[in-house]
Structure 1
Amino acid sequence: MVQDAFQQKKEHILAEIKSSSLDLSPKGTIDELCFPIMNLINSHMDMVTTSSCSGRLSVFVEGNKVHDKEIKTGGKGEGGKWLFVTHDREQVKSWFEKLEEPVSFQPDYNPGYMDASTRYILYKYEPFILHVKCRDFRSASALFNTAMSCGFRESGIGSNNIVALRVNIKLDVPIGYLNELTSKLVFFVDSKYIELMDHITLGKFTENENKMQELYKKIEAHILKAPLETPKDLDKVETKEERRERKIKEGLLRQKMVRSQDTQN
């Protein structure tokens, strides 16, 4: 029997997941905490996971914000770099000891020295995210609605019926800056403040893991054990008019989901 395009794509992705080759993420491998929910979703015939992150702490130096004498926002590229990244909660309290570059403390800094071009050192906690390619919009909608029902309100459906499962458990705080004159890293917080941030982050890790478990149970109960009803005329070939009406309905549903997300944000 000839496989359809989705099944061929799914088998290719699953082969990559099982491969020992490094992926394109900074870590290079899939986080262990992601495997249970990935395996659950991949057991569904109409879904396959494409990328994931179980949640991580990172300390990041922004890239150059000045381009052609104009100041850009964000500055993630052009010299931006990670000082530290971990997906392991056990490494949170010891991250400062693992820095390869020297950092000086200057808690009595003068904010007047900062401007829009300042390249900040950001202390970031980013929660679980999982992208899932679905066979069709119906299965994508089922996964999206299930995620929304258990608090994953940053989720959405993108092109090609790819669902991004996201939860808002973020932390993004400037703790220092790059001195452009000396190329030195400077913290304008003290060690006690870093201890506080680490304590908050550990709480974020716990909350994130709890939400992952809740999502797992919801998907298992509402999608795997209660599969979508199959229309009796599923094998019937759509007419052009029927396909047009279905696409209109799907488009209106997408717009409704987008408006709902915008309202919640």
Structure 2
Amino acid sequence: MSQNAFDQKKASILNEINSPQPDLSPKGSIDELCIPIMELINSHKDMVTTSSCSGRVSVFAEGTKNYNEETKVGGKGQGGRWLFVSHDSTNVIGWLDRLIHDSEVDDIIVNTNDSEDNSKFDGATRYILYKYEPFILHVKCRNFEIASKLYNTSMGCGFRESGIGSNNIVAIRINIKLDTPIGFINEGSNRLAFFVTERYIRLLDNITLTKFSDNAKKIKQLYNKIESDIIQKRDPGNAVEKKLTETKEERRQRKMKEGLERQRLLNETKSNEL
């Protein structure tokens, strides 16, 4: 992508980010935890963020899909639905109570027994999945050089699932995941049948809170590393960028040295003319 094309794309993305209109994500807005690191990255002329998620907890009921005349388990666009989803750790505790008291949700059974046929699981069983998905950020870079620098910085901070895709887009990912089945949909009664106890669900909730905390720490670590290794270490030959990072005293000293150097060159020129 040429320089002008990248600059145009970045300007368009930043306009969307700064727009008061909802974005295309299900949440409709940028996660608050992502804003500082996005602003940091977008301050660099050669990078722009394209999508982000600060991390979320969810409980998902699988759907069904038809494939080669067979009925198989499907995802969100195939009859699946979120029973609970949140990017905010303060909403973790108590989600099951809120779900049980939600009048729009089908009957719920917690800690099912044999009468719910929970021993007859197969490939067509639609499970209820408890998930924690960590921070992910996609960054479009002007060239492969800056993409490699961002990738290596991310890997050095423990974001080991990061990678560089087409068009120099860096996907920054980390493996702080949790994904476990906690129930199933009873096809006969259409009930949500949990085969774990409420005590076990509370255990998962506490593990998730720890993951939220670890995730936030890793984002902060990544922020600091990008700031020190990329933002503050731009091309020293670029005078404009250099001025952005120097203090008033450093600027005064630099101006004084530049003035003395100009005076020295002027004196040498006059001497040569004599």
Does the TM-score normalized on the shorter chain lie above 0.5?
yes
Matched with 2:132 is: 125
**1:106 alignment partner in structure 2:** 111
**One-letter amino acid of the structure 2 residue matched with residue 116 of structure 1:** G
SS of 2:77's equivalent in the other structure is coil
Q: TM-score, normalised by structure 1?
A: 0.81
Structure 1 residue 76: Cα displacement: 4.5
Tell me the equivalent position of 1:34.
34
Native 8 Å contact 2:48 2:139 kept in 1: yes
* 3-state SS of 2:63 partner: coil
Residue 18 (1) aligns with residue 23 (2):
no
* 2:174 is aligned with 1:183: no
- CA offsets 1:159-192 (integer angstroms, 9 cap, x no match): 1110000000000010011111222111111110
Using the alignment, how far apart are the partners of 1:38 and 1:229 within structure 2? 24
1:227 matched to 2:234? The reply is yes
Partner of 1:260: none
The 8 Å contact of residues 64 and 77 in structure 1, kept in 2 or not, is answered as no
Larger Rg: 2
Q: Compare 14-23 and 165-174 and name the one that shifted more.
A: 14-23
Specify the alignment match of 1:146 in structure 2.
Answer: 153
1:57·1:125 contact (CA, 8 Å) conserved in 2?
yes
Amino acid at match of 1:171: L
Letter in 1 for 2:135: F
In the superposition, relative to structure 1, how do residues 33 and 25 fare at CA in structure 2: closer, same or farther (>3 Å)? same
Equivalent AA in structure 1 for residue 121 of structure 2: M
CA contact (8 A) 1:133 1:162 kept: yes
Change (3 A) 1:147 1:74: farther
**Greater alpha carbon shift after TM alignment, 76-85 vs 25-34:** 76-85
SS of residue in 2 equivalent to 1:27: coil
String of CA shifts for 1:41-98, please: whole Å, max 9, x gaps: 0000000001000000000011215534436566453101111110111110021133
| Code of the aligned partner of 1:40 | L
User: TM-score by structure 2 length?
Assistant: 0.79
Matches within 5 A, 1:81-92: 81-92=81-92
Q: In the alignment, is residue 48 of structure 1 matched against residue 38 of structure 2?
A: no
- Once the two structures are aligned, what percentage of the paired residues are identical? 60
Q: How far 1:155 sits from its partner (Å)?
A: 0.3
Structure 2: gaps (5+ residues): 239-274
Q: 8 Å contact 2:112–2:118 — kept in the other structure?
A: no
Is the 8 Å Cα contact of residues 153 and 167 (structure 1) preserved in structure 2? yes
| Structure 1 SS opposite 2:140 | strand
Q: 1:228, CA displacement in angstroms?
A: 5.0
- CA RMSD in angstroms comes to 1.9
The one-character-per-residue Cα deviations of 1:94-137 (angstroms, maximum 9, x if unpaired) are 21133231421134355531111101000000000000000111
What secondary structure does 2:45 align onto?
coil
- 2:62–2:73: 8 Å Cα contact kept in structure 1? no
Q: 1:158 to 1:24 in 2, by over 3 A?
A: same
Q: 1:95 matched to which residue of 2?
A: 95
Tell whether the 8 Å contact from 2:118 to 2:195 is kept in structure 1 after alignment: no
Q: Is the partner of 1:210 in helix, strand or coil?
A: helix
2:215 counterpart letter in structure 1: N
Matched, 1:192 2:177: no
